[in-house]
Chains A and B, each alone.
Chain A
Amino acid sequence: MRDITLGQFVAGNSVIHRLDPRTKIGMMILYIAMTFLVKKIWFLSIPFAYLIIELILSGISLRYILNSLKPVRFLLILMFILNLFFTKGEDVWLDLGFWKLTGEAFLQSCFLTLRIILLVAGASMLTLTTSPIALTDGLEKLLSPLKVFHFPAHELAMMMTIALRFVPTLMDESDKIRNAQMSRGADFESGNIFKRGKSMIPILIPLFVSSFRKADELAIAMESRCYHGGEGRTRMHQLKFRLIDLYAILITLAFLAAMIVTLILL
């Protein structure tokens, strides 16, 4: 339990790591747009090339990217198979009577699956190279113009900050409560899913109670430290938009432009 690192951030000091989190969020949005514009499988090579460049620059090993695909692997397989079934085509490769495997279907399946892979991999590049704290800061800054419409950008960011702070503490605590209940003969391992679910109550209730107490005490401590909402608040760490950030955005835009050109030409 103790090994779980939050999000999947891999500490580093590469060019990508040092980019402003806002830049990286922007890059990801442009990258997603680029990937969605692809209409033919071969042009997936453009976002693919972009991803490879980013990967090399960040110094992150491919293993992490593959790990991030693990949770969606069943979805990917399912999508691949469904498209084989439901895409119509002329070029029959195999005829089983009730179903024909066509070249078009195969190509379409590959295309859609690869596109999802590229999307997930691109999005995880953001979380792999940006610490959750930086990400929170970046989001707060990016969303702050929405405050005009009463969007709670600061509150949202503060909630994320506190959640990040307390997840390890609560994990520790659930570990302790689990041990205590096991010492009283509680059994969390046997029985069917309902029985197991019910056996979690002696862990969940103390955990809830303790979370509420923590929230209460934290609120008092924050108040004592002059917290009074986001108004008039400054930050010690200022986000700085530097020249390198400009380059990164320009390069990403160049890739997007290339994508659009291919669309127009074909």
Chain B
Amino acid sequence: MIRFDHVTFQYEKADSPALKDVCLSIAQGEFIAVVGHNGSGKSTLAKHINGLLVPTEGTVTVCGMRTDDENNLLKIRQNIGMAFQNPDNQLVTTVVEEDVAFGPENLGIDPKEIRVRVDEALKAVGMTDYAEYAVHHLSGGQKQRIAIAGILALKPQVLVLDEASAMLDPSGRIELLETVHRLHDSGMTVVMVTQYMEETTGCDRIVVMKGGCVLLDDTPQEVFRHTDLLLESNLVPPETVIVRDSLKSLGYSIPDDVLTAKQLAEALCPSK
């Protein structure tokens, strides 16, 4: 569905490339987390998926379309929905339902059809009751859900979240994560860029970025086996994984696929 083929990208004024020879492919229905510290290139990677940025070298192909062809852009952006970090700076209009309608309006869809899509999208993120609210009265988590509804109204195949949880409080983050997981369950391909390792435990695959390169690309269990590599890339594994490794160094035998508090307790003391 999405293919990065030896992608290198350099910002105009930068000394070194932000992405170096990245190869990556994402299949339909996958839930992928892209992690990395600031400046690792993870956001740059995300912006390549919907053609906001175009590779300096190499190609990005999305649903069979190359992103460096301008004629494809509208079609690509319709298929790749993208949510950003600051919930305030991505909502365009004052009223919730008007904002959700913004995307389909841009596509020139029939007003009746837009109405249907808006209602469906608001329902999918659980914000139907807020259709006529003023955007600035909502909480951060609610704003982010509206942003996602606005994307769903475009009926995309892929949802890309570019650090969409970074500015939310814990309950807002849970709200967002639950919404995204629910969408994934109903068939959406999800690419989630984040710095919070604890959000990634439920993903199919984690891509760890470092200095513009893909450092690791594997299942959460495999990735969290390499705690030292993560710490080296200035990433902090979930607290449970840190505790797990300390206990292991004490001589406790705990399997590597232990990622949550419950699993750890179970490993230390199997319930009968």
Interface residues, chain A, with chain B CB atoms under 8 Å away: 132-133, 161-162, 164-165, 168-169, 172, 213-214, 217-218, 220-228, 232-238
Contact check: which of B89, B93, B97 meets A221 at CB < 8 Å? B89
List 12 other contacts, CB 8 Å, given A169-B136, A223-B77, A235-B105: A133-B94, A133-B98, A161-B94, A168-B134, A218-B89, A221-B84, A221-B90, A222-B102, A223-B52, A225-B154, A226-B74, A234-B104
In the complex, the answer to whether A232 meets B108 with C-beta atoms within 8 Å is yes
Are A218 and B94 interface neighbours, CB within 8 A?
A: no
Cα(A168)–Cα(B136), bound, Å: 7
Give the interface centre of B107, B118, B135 by most chain A CB atoms within 10 Å.
B107
Chain B contacts of A220 at CB under 8 A? 52, 84
Residues of chain A with a CB closer than 8 A to B78's CB: 226
Binding site for A on B (CB under 8 A): 50, 52, 74, 77-78, 81-82, 84, 86, 88-95, 97-98, 101-111, 114-115, 118, 134-136, 147, 150-151, 154
Cross-chain contact B106 with A235 (CB below 8 angstroms): no
B92 contacts A218, CB within 8 Å? yes
Q: Determine the chain B residues whose CB is within 8 A of the CB of A238 once the complex forms.
A: 111
Give chain A nearest CB distance to B105 CB in angstroms: 6
Distance of A156 from chain B, by nearest CB (Å): 15
Secondary structure type dominating chain B contacts: helix
Contact A226/B106 with A133-B98, A169-B136, A238-B111 known, Cβ cut-off 8 Å: yes
- In the complex the two chains form, what is the Cα distance from A220 to B92 in whole Å? 11
In angstroms, Cα B150 to Cα A225, docked, is 8
In the assembled complex, the Cα of A165 lies from the Cα of B146 at a distance in Å of 14
- A161→B105 CA distance, assembly (Å): 14
| A226→B92 contact, CB < 8 A | no
Tell me how far the C-beta of B128 lies from the nearest C-beta in chain A, rounded to whole angstroms.
Answer: 16
Chain B residue with the shortest CB-CB distance to A226: B106
A161-B94, A236-B111 are known contacts. Are A217 and B89 too (CB-CB below 8 A)? Answer: yes
Chain A contacts for B90, CB-based, 8 A: 217-218, 221
How far is the CB of B155 from the nearest CB of chain A, in Å?
Answer: 11
The residues of A that contact B77 with a CB separation of less than 8 Å are 223-226
Could you jot down 15 A-B contacts, CB within 8 Å? A133-B94, A165-B94, A169-B136, A214-B88, A223-B52, A224-B50, A224-B77, A225-B77, A225-B103, A226-B78, A227-B106, A233-B105, A233-B108, A234-B110, A236-B104
